[in-house]
Amino acid sequence: MKHRTLISHAVLLLLAQSITGHVCAAPSDSSVGGLVTDSLGKPVATASVILQTATGASAGETKTDASGHFSVSNVAPGTYAVVVTATGFASGSSVATTSPGTASSVTVALARSDAIDVRVNAQRLDQARNGLSPETGSSVYRITAADINNMPQGESTPFNQVLLHAPGVAQDSYGMVHVRGEHANLQYRINGIMIPEPISGFGQSFDTRIIDQMDLLTGALPAQYGWRTAGIVDIKTKSGETGDGGTIDVYGGSHGTAQTSGDVYGTRGALSYYFSGSAGVNDLGIEAPTSNGSPLHDHTRQGNAFGYMSYLINPLTRVSVVFGTASNQFQIPNTPGQPTQFTLNGQTSFDSAALNETQSELNNFATVALQGTNGDKLDYQIAYFTRYTRTQFNPDPIGDLLFNGVASQDFRSNWANGLQGDTTYRLNSSHTLRAGVSFEQDRAVASDSVSVFPTVDGVQSSDQPFPVNSASTTIGRLFGVYVQDEWRVNDKLIINYGVRYDKMNEVVDASQLSPRIGAIYKATPTTTLHAAYARYFTPPPLELIAPTTVAQFNNTTNQAASQQNSPVQPERSHYFDVGVSQRVTSAITVGVDAYYKKATDLLDEGQFGTALINTPYNYQTGHAYGVELTANYIDEHFSAYANLALSRATGENIITGQFNFTPDELAYIANNPVHLDHDQLVTGSAGIAYTFARTTYSADTVFGSGLRSGFANTDHVPFYVNVNLAVIHHFNAPLIGKFDGRVVVVNLLNRSYQLRDGSGIGVGAAQFGPTRAFYAGMTKHF
């Protein structure tokens, strides 16, 4: 490499000499000076500068000062190569020609070599980290940053709506989603590290713009995955390894929507970073309780921040830090014209349009991870994770008493801390061993201040309310360990088998040993089959469990319908999954996947009070089964996808949290299997994006046959469909430079559709999807 550099310098000098004619000789000496900068124009200090003649001999050398300047004196007049080297930079050169008694000046810009090294080493470590997370036997659906940018709302798409583009994901009110007929039970991971569950609320915990790639794993998962298993949402975040830059984005339109966001990323030596943030307001924070497209008292303020930093200790080892926060404030929308049911201090009337209920939510999370590889056989990652989540519902102290006979200020918080370790060891070309351990401790706090009226035989006996206060702190612990082997039987067949052990010490103590096995068979170069079985152990969400003394509300307007309150149990289930993927052409891929789940102590959640804080409970047994069909098309200018899922989810006999149900419901469910409230027979999504020149045309849709409603979920809300459109143009304007403009139409058909009608098990209120709305945004890249 050194000889090649000398040759190139000599060629450069000969060319310069052919232009100047000859090397001048004169009786007086000259000097060569100048400036050394990086590619951004910043000075480079202590760089080595050597002047070389056409033969490669040194005619002088020096170093740059703190401002990047240098000077070599007593140089004979002539033409020289100025060769500059500096730690962390590729070498650079220029040509200087001196005249008798004069000073020649040059500027040399150096390209950082460490940025290239960081990128190569980061890619190597990313591949090693990916190797820690097998997918054998499970169903995987990937959504990339490019896919998100092609969605009508782009990176302004709420996180839950991004998930709706995956098969088998049904939308619900309050921003919730359900995967394969299960309530919640989703596990979120960032760069392979578990992020403990937040307390359910209206706002989203993650900002869509941080996603570089998001994988949704469903089905019978490998032994690595436990605790929350309906789906694994694994987010690979953006990082700074690709170079320095950032964006600023403004977005707004209907419903008083105004949002500003931005990010910045880059590398500094061995350190790479990515930071993003967003803040916004709108008047449609929660789905409207009526078909009116402009609900009353529905203002929201929401903000998100995220940071990722990675430091390369050496080419095979790095330490990374991730942190994020989401702070959201919501007004609870009102339904006008509602009649009061109770009397307060002689007052019997209240305008329901003037109710003032609010909810505040805070979610903070962070991880610190040491990850490495020996480049051949061993990969590992050891991580610490923490999450603090808090929700507070504030009632209207007068209105709620008049309408409900209860005004409840409810506070929930949970602080979770844990450790996670994963290793991969490639024993030989046929066997890859994986093992790991995880531990999590939760500290859940519940504090309620409930104002109620006294009753006699269920009838209000006084118009003077009194408070019932309760507070509790519960400590819970989860432990899991797994080992598995990925066996490459031959070029066509891969089998992943293993076992995990889980133990919980929360409201109850329980444990389980869970075998897992999955296989992938490549029947032809274009046809891939997979099949798997998993035994699951799902602890109840501790952050939602508030020890309740049912008797303390006896003879009040908040008296429970039943006095039973058995402690919530972990769910245990058998899960089977089988599917096939067919690449029809280089651009078209189709797939079908079928699953069946049989559960004991099936977990579910419902909103049984006035506050949006779900309460978990168990069915004695449960079943879920379904089939999913997917199709994808992608070429240079056009992409499209379509998903269709058919599913059924049922439960029998409620055995915990019975006080939330009426005796009639309990009796019916004890003798009849019922649909779970989030069960939806048909769920679908589709989208297209077409790019012509510098303009992209985008459209997507979600539809469903309707979630359950009515007594014991014996009915369902009507079929719904929502279509969104957008036009995105890539501008290159004078002064401003390059930027993207976007115009969006949400609910193009302007169809009023209902997500909930206020009836059904654990459903607190009616919610409607948004009516037609118009938005526009601009994104500037720098």
List pLDDT tens digits, range 442-493: 999 989 899 999 999 889 999 999 999 989 899 999 999 999 999 999 999 9
Residue at token pair 């919730």: 176
Judge whether 116 lies within some domain: no
Q: Is the pLDDT of residue 13 over 50?
A: no
Does 435 share its domain with 344?
yes
Instruction: Select from 277, 250, 252, 273 the least CA-distant residue to 263.
Output: 277
Q: Are residues 126 and 21 in the same domain?
A: no
Same domain, 656 and 753: yes
**Which residue segment(s) compose the domain that 320 sits in?**
121-781
Reply yes or no on whether the pLDDT at 20 is more than 80: no
**Given this model, what pLDDT does residue 30 score?**
83
Residue 182 pairs with which residues in a beta bridge? Answer: 179
Q: Domain check: are 178 and 106 in the same one?
A: no
Domain boundary among 93, 111, 129: 111
Q: Is residue 332 part of a domain?
A: yes
Residues 6+ apart with CB under 8 A from 610: 357, 393, 395, 400, 404, 406, 408, 764
Q: What is the pLDDT of residue 8?
A: 45
Residue 302 belongs to some domain of the structure: yes
Is there a contact between 263 and 239 (Cβ–Cβ < 8 Å)? no
Find the mean pLDDT for residues 247-251. 94
464, part of any domain: yes
Q: How many CA atoms lie within 13 A of 531 on its CB side?
A: 4
Confidence band of 766 (pLDDT split at 50, 70, 90):
confident
For residue 357, the one-letter residue type is E
Query: Is the same domain home to 88 and 131?
Result: no
Q: Domain boundary residue among 90, 111, 132?
A: 111
Is 474 among the domain residues? Answer: yes
Q: What is the pLDDT of residue 9?
A: 47
Cα 320–Cα 213–Cα 689 angle in degrees, nearest 5: 155
Which is it for the CA torsion 695, 149, 582, 494, positive or negative? positive
- pLDDT at site 4: 42
What are the respective helix, strand and coil percentages of the chain, to the nearest 5? Answer: 10, 55, 35
Predicted confidence (pLDDT) per residue in 426-436, tens digit: 999 999 999 99
Mean pLDDT of 20-28: 41
Q: What is the pLDDT of residue 580?
A: 92
Paired with 94 in beta bridges are: 82
Q: At residue 22, does pLDDT exceed 90?
A: no
Does pLDDT of 266 surpass 50? yes
Do residues 488 and 466 both lie within one domain?
A: yes
Q: Give the pair of three-digit tokens for residue 475.
A: 């400590």
pLDDT of 117 higher than 80: no
Pairing label, strands 378-394, 186-190: unpaired
Give the CATH number of the domain where residue 29 resides.
Answer: 2.60.40.10
Quote the pTM value: 0.82
Average pLDDT, the chain: 88
pLDDT, position 442: 93
Cα(404)–Cα(338) distance, rounded to whole angstroms? 11
Q: Is a pLDDT exceeding 50 seen at residue 263?
A: yes
Do 100 and 219 lie in one domain? The reply is no
Q: Count structural domains, the chain.
A: 2
| DSSP helix/strand/coil, 210 | helix
Mean pLDDT, rounded, for 22-43: 70
Residues 476 and 584 in one domain: yes
Pair (300, 412) in one structural domain: yes
Please tell me the predicted confidence (pLDDT) of residue 118: 57
| 122 pLDDT more than 70 | no
- Quote the tokens at residue 418: 């844990």
In this structure, the answer to whether residues 214 and 269 fall within a common structural domain is yes
Where does the pLDDT of residue 128 fall: very low under 50, low under 70, confident under 90, or very high at 90 and above? low
Please say which residue of 62, 88, 111 terminates a domain.
111
Same domain, 153 and 45: no
Q: Quote the pLDDT of residue 137.
A: 66
CB 75 within 8 A of CB 34: no
User: Based on the domain organization, do 163 and 74 belong to the same domain?
Assistant: no
Confidence of residue 19 (pLDDT cuts 50, 70, 90): very low
Question: In CATH, what number is assigned to the domain containing residue 591?
Answer: 2.40.170.20
d(CA 389, CA 652): 32
